């Protein structure tokens, strides 16, 4: 006999089959479900249809079924464009493909009060009963959006392709205690990325130095961090790298030790060279600050850039060694009832291993040192002439920090290829042509270099350089 009360004990991952307490399968269509089902079942393409013959399957909502069915079709006809024979053909093709899959419902039921429990199946699409297609698509819509699954069982006695019951995605908040660990992992990956990029840039620049037989501006190589770091890594990742160092200098490690009788915390002694290296990493934040304010400092930066870095480095080192961050323990026992008769959460106290004030102190020192050094450089050097080297191919750091002496001839600036690598320009010379790719602009550049043009210049130096036409 037909099932009139709905299907029970449909295939489900989460629910168990209980004979005395069957689980009713439900469909919870929303507006999108209704509209898509009206399209895919072909009701939208029909000029008239029997609403009663369709709604007879929705016994629980017999009164509202004609309303939501009619509203869905009217919405599609009024607001959806492109309803034509081509779309109808695509809908029919989709229908035939799904019919070929033989997707079925499955339930455990008794055909009569005294009969044994039987496994019953019926296909989702019934070619002999097209009025049910609307609700068939309501089920399959949940499969399309990921609320149901279609599983194929293949055995010795036959095969079944079954549609599971609806499973709404489970929404869970992340555990608060996992946030710090996950953030530390992301920071670690970012630091590793910045390290390997800088190492790769240094290796390629060294190859250019060897290939040019020593004809490069050596003092530019000391700007690997300030020029190469800004171009190849970028400010966000350099700030991340410096923040990891700030956090290390503002945190004290604790080790949980265990003896035969009790457990205790022990503060390990950090070697001086590790503190020195961590303090040097703070210089990355100093580099970012100087690069941001380069629009103001301009030509004065080269006069105090080294002193500024050393000052920040030494202050960070001595603050970590002479006044290290000490851990604090707060004992405060209290319990809270999370759920009656189920869960009680008790907290014995807190352990504080870091100090926010130290991070703010190091950040303030960085800004203060940059500002103080700029004022001192401006006072000591007075008015300085603006640099004559100006090109969109040069980063701001390369323009104001590189050595440009004796490199400009007839309005053409000759940048050695090792320095060009730090500036983000990868060059390759083939005979009298230099090919270059600028990662700052993502452009490929080609320059012709003739040996005859080197007659009035230092051939050994300028022949191994990349020519850049200067702009006013």
The tokens for 156 are 């010795």
pLDDT at 372: 94
Task: Please tell me the distance from the alpha carbon of residue 398 to that of residue 372, in angstroms, as a whole number.
Answer: 23
Average pLDDT over residues 377-383: 90
Q: Quote the distance between the C-alpha of residue 342 and its chain's center.
A: 38
Sequence-ordered list of residues with C-beta below 8 angstroms from that of 297, at least 6 positions apart, any chain: 290, 374
Mean pLDDT of the chain: 85
Task: Please tell me the distance from the alpha carbon of residue 91 to that of residue 30, in angstroms, as a whole number.
Answer: 21
Higher pLDDT, 375 or 19: 375
111-142 pLDDT per residue, tens: 777 788 788 888 999 888 888 888 899 999 99
Residues 27 and 166 sit within 8 Å (Cβ to Cβ)? yes
208-260 pLDDT per residue, tens: 998 888 788 888 899 999 999 999 999 999 999 998 888 888 888 888 888 77
Backbone angles phi, psi at 331, to 5 degrees: -95, 120
pLDDT category of residue 452 using cuts at 50, 70 and 90: very low
Backbone angles phi, psi at 324, to 5 degrees: -65, 155
pLDDT at 199: 95
29-49 pLDDT per residue, tens: 888 888 888 888 888 888 777
pLDDT at 318: 92
Average pLDDT over residues 163-175: 80
């Amino acid at each position: 006999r037909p099932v009139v009360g709905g299907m029970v004990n449909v295939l489900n991952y989460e629910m168990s089959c209980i004979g005395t307490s069957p689980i009713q399968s439900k469909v919870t269509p929303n507006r999108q479900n209704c509209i898509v089902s009206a399209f895919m079942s072909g009701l939208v393409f029909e000029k008239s249809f029997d609403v009663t013959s369709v709604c007879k399957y929705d016994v629980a909502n017999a009164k509202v079924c004609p309303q939501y069915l009619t509203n869905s079709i009217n919405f599609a006809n009024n607001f959806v464009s492109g309803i034509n024979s081509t779309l109808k053909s695509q809908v029919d093709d989709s229908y035939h493909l799904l019919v070929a899959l033989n997707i079925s419902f499955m339930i455990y039921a008794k055909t009569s009060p005294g009969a044994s429990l039987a496994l019953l199946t019926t296909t989702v699409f019934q070619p002999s009963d097209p009025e049910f297609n609307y609700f068939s698509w309501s089920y399959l819509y949940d499969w399309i959006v990921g609320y149901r699954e279609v599983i194929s069982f293949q055995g010795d006695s036959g095969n079944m392709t079954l549609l599971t019951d609806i499973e709404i995605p489970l929404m869970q908040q992340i555990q608060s205690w996992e946030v710090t660990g996950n953030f530390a992992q992301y920071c670690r990956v970012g630091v590793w990325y910045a390290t390997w990029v800088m190492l790769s840039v240094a290796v390629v620049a060294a190859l250019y130095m060897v290939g040019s037989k020593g004809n490069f501006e050596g003092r530019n190589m000391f700007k690997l961090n300030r020029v190469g770091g800004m171009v190849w890594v970028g400010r966000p990742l350099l700030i991340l790298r410096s923040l990891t160092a700030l956090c290390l200098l503002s945190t004290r490690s604790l080790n949980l030790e265990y003896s035969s009788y009790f457990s205790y915390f022990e503060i390990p002694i950090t070697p001086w060279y590790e503190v020195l290296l961590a303090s040097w990493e703070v210089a990355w934040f100093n580099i970012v600050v100087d690069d941001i304010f380069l629009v103001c400092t301009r030509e004065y930066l080269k006069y105090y850039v080294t002193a500024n870095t050393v000052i920040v480095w030494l202050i960070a080192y001595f603050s970590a060694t002479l006044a290290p961050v000490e851990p604090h323990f707060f004992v405060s026992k209290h319990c809270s009832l999370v759920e009656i008769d189920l869960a009680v959460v008790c907290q014995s106290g807190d352990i504080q291993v870091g100090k926010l004030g130290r991070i703010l102190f190091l950040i303030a020192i960085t800004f203060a040192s940059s500002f103080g050094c700029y004022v001192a450089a401006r006072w000591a050097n007075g008015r300085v002439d603006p640099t004559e080297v100006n090109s969109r191919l040069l980063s701001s750091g390369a323009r104001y920090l590189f050595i440009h002496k004796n490199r400009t001839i007839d309005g053409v600036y000759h940048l050695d290829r090792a320095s060009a690598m730090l500036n983000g320009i990868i060059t390759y010379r083939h005979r009298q042509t230099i090919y270059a790719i600028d990662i700052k602009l993502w452009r490929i550049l080609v320059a012709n270099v003739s040996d005859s043009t080197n007659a009035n210049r230092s051939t050994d130096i300028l022949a191994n350089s990349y020519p850049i036409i200067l702009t006013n």
